[in-house]
Structure 1
């Protein structure tokens, strides 16, 4: 397993018996923790996590492990820094994807069957002037219903340069005594909001775990994000325009496999496979 971000490596490698390293902490590996004691000799010095190179490095490590006979099954996870920072047609994006093409080509040359997918899409979240379209929902709720409503942004992580902890989905916890229906209807009428779900609706329609969300779950439009309060989001950390994800408009992702599929899996591919199905397709669906 090679990830760009170390937080994902920590989550996914718990209890794992094998190699698990990240671009972010490629200089801190040990056999005890990571299953290998040196990565930088294989792939060079670790890159900045705030770079496209963090993703290319993860791919490069995978290539080198395969070439060295250290792996027979690879899970390589990239970071979305470049997609947050640049539109798809930007020269920087094109150069980045050329780099991905190069490393995927190296995997294919080594005889690997390659499956490629993503966890989400990405959209610009700005107005015509390039300024972020942000609903500070906790602030608005306090103004309308008084203090006590709490907004949680699931996108929040330490990598604030990517997105400023602003995405197109939030969950809302309501204080006792507040009319849930009245709050939901009021939120639904806000500019930029497209859906407001109760906990039960979010569980049924969005497949969310009921014990990990609030009373309401809110989604925003293609070009909007939702946050807590201005104090909770330092937009000065954003390097350029705001590009983010989390809503309905970022659900479509690529699903690419390097080999022809068996008839049954080819039929499934014409339906609506989901990103996690890539493992089944690659392991079981390839023509022999």
Structure 2
């Protein structure tokens, strides 16, 4: 049987199919933790592995929604965590299911009588992941508040997990997310499952840091349990992570609104689509921004921004739409990307840097766009060649799991 979603056919499997998005986890994290991740190491040897490119901007919402729709932001409508609504003049979170233009793979499978479960660490993703879904969908963040009516499951804390859910800034919340998936699958068969974590650990700790190694060891245990339960398991990421600091450890920031005003008296509204409720992670500082300007200021602003140290790409709306497959109506007159060690801000007074005043790690640009795809089973020749080509994308995850792995 095949199920078509957004013009892509997905072959159904007898075995459960589990897609995992390890938020912020580039391959160097797995490499540094190899000795404590026997299950991932086994997948690398006997399954499949390759590097894939994420959606730009390399943020959580656009990449998660690309993964669960199988298509780019120009088609699904989600190009950030946060956007500027020109009609209302308000800056709003891009977490309303109405912003999603197309059906998800999850929802479509559930409507074809397939059993589907979704667990996200961050509740901000839940409503969009739940669009059109007849199944289980809950966040670890609010696992203590689930209801049958809202989430398709009741009493996760006592009946499923037998322990309280951790706080959103506790590394254990991501472990709880993957464990919940394994416990659901242990309890009953699911045809399709999506598990997506949070990147607090990766924002705070570099590959090889003991805290990151310990965290990944616990993640590996539950990924291994999913494999033991017979699932086809695929692990990718929404983005990687880079240190964004000066030599003294302070954040390396370029404040675009301030620079434009001071250099050319240009008023602008800079939108930072990394902005979300979890500011302790990143202080709303990332390597991608979109700039709203008067038409008459575009040329001058582009020239000024292009000369700022640490800025490596300034595109007009049309150029950005073409290069990164973005929805034109959701971005400003310019799109700006910084280099590996630099983040983009609005004005210094706009950001609360207290929580990120030393050792900032963040993402959003091209330098965080290469991520791993690891699958616990071998791929057929056609899909092996696709993965080896380096041209595959993280949002091809379910295509690889359904069409690249032989059915049982």
Question: Shared fold (TM-score greater than 0.5)?
Answer: yes
- 1:2 to 2:119 alignment: yes
In structure 2, which of residues 187, 200, 206 is the aligned counterpart of residue 87 of structure 1?
206
- 1:219 to 2:219 alignment: no
Assess if the C-alpha contact under 8 Å between 2:260 and 2:304 holds in 1.
no
Structure 1 residue 55: Cα displacement: 0.5
State the secondary structure of the residue aligned to 2:232: coil
Assess if the C-alpha contact under 8 Å between 2:250 and 2:358 holds in 1.
no
Across the aligned residues of Structure 1 and Structure 2, the Cα RMSD in angstroms comes to 1.2
d(CA) in 2 for partners of 1:256, 1:214: 35
- 1:184 to 2:295 alignment: no
- 1:139 to 2:258 alignment: yes
Structure 1 residue 36: Cα displacement: 0.5
d(CA) in 1 for partners of 2:244, 2:194: 31
Assess if the C-alpha contact under 8 Å between 1:3 and 1:9 holds in 2.
yes
State the secondary structure of the residue aligned to 1:67: helix
Assess if the C-alpha contact under 8 Å between 2:251 and 2:356 holds in 1.
no
User: 1:28: which partner in 2?
Assistant: 145
Structure 1 residue 261: Cα displacement: 0.7
Structure 1 residue 260: Cα displacement: 0.7
In structure 2, which of residues 309, 313, 317 is the aligned counterpart of residue 195 of structure 1?
313
In structure 2, which of residues 139, 149, 155 is the aligned counterpart of residue 38 of structure 1?
155
- What are the within-5 Å matches in structure 2 for residues 1-288 of structure 1? 1-41=118-158, 42-43=160-161, 44-69=163-188, 71-146=190-265, 148-178=267-297, 180-238=298-356, 240-271=358-389, 272-288=391-407
Q: Deviations over 1:59-78 (max 9, x none)?
A: 01101000000533210000
State the secondary structure of the residue aligned to 2:326: coil
Structure 1 residue 239: Cα displacement: 7.5
Structure 1 residue 207: Cα displacement: 1.4
Assess if the C-alpha contact under 8 Å between 2:250 and 2:357 holds in 1.
no
Assess if the C-alpha contact under 8 Å between 2:266 and 2:301 holds in 1.
no
Assess if the C-alpha contact under 8 Å between 1:85 and 1:240 holds in 2.
no
State the secondary structure of the residue aligned to 1:132: coil
Structure 1 residue 151: Cα displacement: 0.5
TM-score (norm 2): 0.69
d(CA) in 2 for partners of 1:250, 1:273: 16
d(CA) in 2 for partners of 1:155, 1:280: 27
Task: Compare 57-66 and 168-177 and name the one that shifted more.
Answer: 168-177
Structure 1 residue 176: Cα displacement: 4.7
Structure 1 residue 287: Cα displacement: 2.6
Assess if the C-alpha contact under 8 Å between 1:2 and 1:62 holds in 2.
yes
Task: Compare 147-156 and 58-67 and name the one that shifted more.
Answer: 147-156
Task: Compare 26-35 and 205-214 and name the one that shifted more.
Answer: 205-214
TM-score (norm 1): 0.97
Structure 2, gaps ≥5 residues long: 1-117
Assess if the C-alpha contact under 8 Å between 2:251 and 2:358 holds in 1.
no
User: 2:88: which partner in 1?
Assistant: none
Task: Compare 212-221 and 69-78 and name the one that shifted more.
Answer: 69-78
d(CA) in 1 for partners of 2:277, 2:382: 42
